[in-house]
């Protein structure tokens, strides 16, 4: 429901407010945010802007703040992370301050909306987009996972980068999903940090590392998994995972924003997003732009609804969007593709990667074959981590250009479905220099 519709029907609305100004610095040919200086500056701005938010006991934001996350064991009371800047701001149930993004999210009335839109310290006021997990298709595989290299690793030539000594070592990958099973043999000692965000978007510090389903453990295995039973399927096994459980209900926009803010603080260089809204939602462009300004590459699944469809944020120009390829070098039938007319007019996804019949980890120590753009996306995030180990000083734009320049589209795939085509890890390394 839009802000206007919320105000008309409820008398209050939830909004995302992006603050200005920012402090920037040059990094090669790219201008990026000087994070600590910007946080100092924006804390003063946030203190002034906070006065526009209101507390409404009937708001979803307020009601969800009292719900105990279901994953806290033995009835233990949740303990919430306290950011010193948010604490100084005096944030409460009406507003949440995310200092690493420079974002406030909370509840306002009609007068506050007018005041925010007129406030010179506010860069944008956005509707929270109703995001959801992009569900994969479970394969009824007659054959088991086999041994050796997965077909996806071979197709992208990832093993050639391993032969050069690259594994993603030293690179942190943000992983926003259903969580992760750290006890899986593929993922033991792979999780650098984990955070659960409750139904209203607050970080719960005493939540166990866990997966509320299976999707997150599967994508985590594709990102950083160690070989299991002789099968190598983890793209960047030396990288470390910064995993956030965000997606199984509640106020998903607040949970996703809280997790992205936390990922920025952890120092991730890539963030893997297998989530979206079945529409074009330009509001989230500003959030992805904040990540890119902090030198973080957002790699986003385009969706599993087929031709002439796409999901946001994957269809936004700030995303490195990924579609799914099968083992015959055809586009997986359900992989979304679209033409976005919003300037600049463009085809999505930007590239395609292996996403059909992908064996990876699931909770309980098992392997499962799944298909979807959710499986293609972490292969590209893992490739980015390998490239960043090689050139840690590379900017997000340099990294993306190298991946794009390495792509070749199979002759049987149209540009409408596959756009630039499939990356070649060796060529991407050469392009990055």
Q: Assign 119 a pLDDT band (cuts: 50, 70, 90).
A: very high
204-226 pLDDT, tens digit per residue, is 988 899 999 999 999 999 999 99
DSSP structural state of residue 284: G
Mean of pLDDT values over 39-53? 91
Domains of the chain, residue spans: 3-126, 132-432
Residue 68 has pLDDT above 70, yes or no: no
- What are the tokens at 356? 């059909």
pLDDT of amino acid 358: 97
296 to 32, 247, 264, 319, 396: CA distances (angstroms): 10, 21, 8, 11, 6
Provide CB contacts within 8 A for 52, sequence distance 6+: 108, 112, 115, 116, 119
pLDDT given at position 288: 97
5-31 per-position pLDDT tens digit: 999 999 999 999 999 878 888 876 678
Please name the residue that has the structure tokens 């394969």.
139
The pLDDT of 158-176, averaged and rounded, is 99
What is the enclosing helix (H) or strand (E) of 387?
Answer: helix 373-390
Out of 3.90.480.10, 3.40.50.200, 3.30.56.10, 3.10.180.10, select the CATH number for domain 132-432. 3.40.50.200
Give me the pLDDT at residue 355, please. 98
Predicted pLDDT at 390: 99
Mind listing the pLDDT tens digit for each residue in 235-292?
999 999 999 998 767 788 889 999 999 999 999 999 999 999 888 988 889 999 999 9
CB 300 within 8 A of CB 320: yes
Residue pair 173/203 in contact by the 8 Å Cβ criterion: no
Please tell me the predicted confidence (pLDDT) of residue 91: 60
pLDDT at 124: 94
Q: How confident is the model at residue 80 (pLDDT cuts 50, 70, 90)?
A: confident
Instruction: Judge whether residue 230 has pLDDT over 80.
Output: yes
- Tokens in use for 416? 């409408």
CB distance 378 to 139 below 8 Å: no
Of all residues in the chain, what percent carry a pLDDT higher than 70?
96
Closest CA to 237 of 229, 226, 222: 226
Region of 194 (left: φ > 0; alpha: ψ -120 to 50; beta: rest) is: beta
> Could you read off the pLDDT of 331-352 as tens digits, one per residue?
999 999 999 998 899 999 999 9
Question: For tokens 């890119």, what's the residue?
Answer: 292
pLDDT of residue 149: 98
Residue 70 has pLDDT above 90, yes or no: no
Which residues are CB-neighbours of 44 under 8 A, at least 6 positions away?
A: none
- Mean pLDDT within 185-194: 98
Supply φ then ψ for residue 271, to 5 degrees: -130, 130
DSSP-assigned beta bridge partners for residue 361: 367
On the question of pLDDT at 359 being above 70, the answer is yes
Averaged pLDDT, 43-52: 92
How does the average pLDDT of the chain come out, rounded?
Answer: 93
Instruction: For tokens 């002789």, name the residue.
Output: 230
Residues belonging to the active site: 177, 215, 374
pLDDT attached to residue 69: 65
Are the CB atoms for 177 and 243 separated by under 8 Å?
A: yes
Q: How far is CA 296 from the centre of its chain?
A: 10
Average pLDDT over residues 386-413: 98
Question: What is the per-residue pLDDT for 174?
Answer: 99
Classified as helix, coil or strand, 414 is: coil
Tokens of 353: 């990667």
Contact 232, 200 (CB under 8 A): no
| CA–CA distance, 207 with 198 (Å, rounded to integer) | 10
CA distance 127 to 283: 7
Instruction: List CB contacts of 88: < 8 A, sequence separation 6 or more.
Output: 43, 47
pLDDT score of 71? 64
| pLDDT attached to residue 369 | 96
- Convert the pLDDT of each residue in 362-391 to its tens digit: 999 999 999 999 999 999 999 999 999 999
No. of helices (H) and no. of strands (E), the chain: 14, 23
Structure tokens at 399: 């990294």
CB-CB contact of 145 with 367 (8 Å): yes
Say how many Å lie between the first and final Cα of the chain, rounded: 47
């Amino acid at each position: 429901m839009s802000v206007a519709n919320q105000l008309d029907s409820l008398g209050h609305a939830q909004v995302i407010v992006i603050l200005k100004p920012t402090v920037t610095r040059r990094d090669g040919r790219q201008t990026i945010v000087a994070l600590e200086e910007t946080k100092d500056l924006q804390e003063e701005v946030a203190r002034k802007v906070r006065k526009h938010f209101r507390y409404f006991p009937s708001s979803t934001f307020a009601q969800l703040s009292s719900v105990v996350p279901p994953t806290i064991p033995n009835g233990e009371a949740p303990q919430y992370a306290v950011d010193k800047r948010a604490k100084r701001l005096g944030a409460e149930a009406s507003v949440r301050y995310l200092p690493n993004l420079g974002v406030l999210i909370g509840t306002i009335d009609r007068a506050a909306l007018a005041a925010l839109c007129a406030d010179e310290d506010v860069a944008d006021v956005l509707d929270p987009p109703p995001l959801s997990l992009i569900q994969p298709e479970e394969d009824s595989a007659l054959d088991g996972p086999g041994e050796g290299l997965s077909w996806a690793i071979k197709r992208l030539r990832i093993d050639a980068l391993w032969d050069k000594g690259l594994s993603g070592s030293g690179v942190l990958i943000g992983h926003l999903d259903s969580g992760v099973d750290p006890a899986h043999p593929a993922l033991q000692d792979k999780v650098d940090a984990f955070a659960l965000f409750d139904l209203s978007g607050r970080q719960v510090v005493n939540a166990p590392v866990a997966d509320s389903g299976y999707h997150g453990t599967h994508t985590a295995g594709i990102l950083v998994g160690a070989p299991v039973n002789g099968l190598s399927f983890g793209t960047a096994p030396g990288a470390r995972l910064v995993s956030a459980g965000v997606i199984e209900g509640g106020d998903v926009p607040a949970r996703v924003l809280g997790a992205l803010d936390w990922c920025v603080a952890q120092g991730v260089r890539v963030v893997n997003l297998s989530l979206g809204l079945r529409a074009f939602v330009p509001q989230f462009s500003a959030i992805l732009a904040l990540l890119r300004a902090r030198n973080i590459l957002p790699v986003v699944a385009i969706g599993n609804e087929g031709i002439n469809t796409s999901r946001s944020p994957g269809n936004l120009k700030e995303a490195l969007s990924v579609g799914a390829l099968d083992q015959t070098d055809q586009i997986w039938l359900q992989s979304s593709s679209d033409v976005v007319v919003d300037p600049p007019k463009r085809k999505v996804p930007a590239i395609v990667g292996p996403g059909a019949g992908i064996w990876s980890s699931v909770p309980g120590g098992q392997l499962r074959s799944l298909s979807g753009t959710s499986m293609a996306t972490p292969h590209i995030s893992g490739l980015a981590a390998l490239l960043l180990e090689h050139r840690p000083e590379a900017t997000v734009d340099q990294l993306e250009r190298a991946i794009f320049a390495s792509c070749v589209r199979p002759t049987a795939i149209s540009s409408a479905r596959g756009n630039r085509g499939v990356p070649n890890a060796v060529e991407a390394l050469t392009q990055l220099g």
